[in-house]
C-alpha cells in the first residue's frame, strides 16, 4: 500500500512540474570547475578555497559572472528553472548587505536578493519567459555595486522541463 501511495505522489509531482528533459550545470566547489556550461569571470571574481572546499568568490561590489548555455535541442520547453547555490559572506566585525542581481539574456529577473550568511541555500528562479529556444542563452550573476560583503557561489544549474 505504501508503495502505491509513493508512486501516486511521484506521478502527481511529475504531472505538476513536467519531466526534466535537459540539465546544464557548473560546479565551482571543484578545481577546476566541473559541468557543461561555459563561463566568464568579471573583475573581482576568483575561485577560492575555504575550509577545504572551493567556491567562486565575488570579492567586491560590481563583480560579475557570465554563464553561456549550450543550444538546447528542445523546441518548446514547458518550464525553465535556474538554481543557484550561494551564501553571503560578511566580515566578522560587521553585518553584511550582499544583494545579488540575476539577468537572463540581459533582462533583469531578480534584484536585491540576499542569500543570507547562515548557510548555503539553493533558491530556484523561473526563467521560462526569458529563455531563447534554439540559441545560446546568457545568465549573468552580479554583486550589487554597494555591497558590503562578499558573495560565494558553489553551483549553478539550469533545468529544462517538457511534457
In the chain the domains, ranked by start, together with CATH numbers, are 19-162 (2.60.120.260)
Nearest by Cα to 86 from 160, 128, 141: 141
- Condensed to tens digits (0 to 9), the pLDDT of residues 60-89 reads 999 999 999 998 777 778 899 999 999 998
More confident residue, 4 or 161: 161
Sign of CA dihedral 129, 130, 136, 142: negative
Find the mean pLDDT for residues 138-144.
97
pLDDT of 34-63, one tens digit each? Answer: 999 999 999 999 999 987 899 999 999 999
What's the pLDDT at 44?
94
* pLDDT at position 89: 84
Q: Each residue of 35-55: b (16+ CB within 10 Å) or e?
A: bebebeeeeebeebeeeeebb
Amino acid at each position: 500500500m505504501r508503495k502505491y501511495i509513493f508512486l501516486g505522489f511521484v506521478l502527481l509531482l511529475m504531472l505538476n512540474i513536467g519531466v526534466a528533459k535537459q540539465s546544464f550545470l557548473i560546479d565551482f566547489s571543484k578545481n577546476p570547475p566541473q559541468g557543461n556550461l561555459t563561463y566568464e569571470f568579471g573583475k573581482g571574481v576568483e575561485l577560492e578555497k575555504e575550509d577545504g572546499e572551493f567556491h567562486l568568490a565575488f570579492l567586491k561590489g560590481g563583480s560579475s559572472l557570465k554563464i553561456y548555455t549550450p543550444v538546447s535541442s528542445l523546441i518548446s520547453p514547458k518550464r525553465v528553472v535556474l538554481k543557484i547555490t550561494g551564501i553571503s559572506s560578511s566580515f566578522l566585525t560587521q553585518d553584511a548587505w550582499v544583494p545579488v542581481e540575476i539577468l537572463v539574456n540581459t533582462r533583469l529577473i531578480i534584484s536585491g536578493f540576499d542569500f543570507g550568511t547562515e548557510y548555503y541555500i539553493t533558491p530556484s528562479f523561473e526563467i521560462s519567459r526569458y529563455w531563447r529556444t534554439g540559441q545560446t542563452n546568457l545568465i549573468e550573476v552580479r554583486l550589487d555595486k554597494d555591497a558590503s560583503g562578499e558573495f560565494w557561489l558553489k553551483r549553478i544549474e539550469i533545468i529544462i522541463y517538457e511534457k
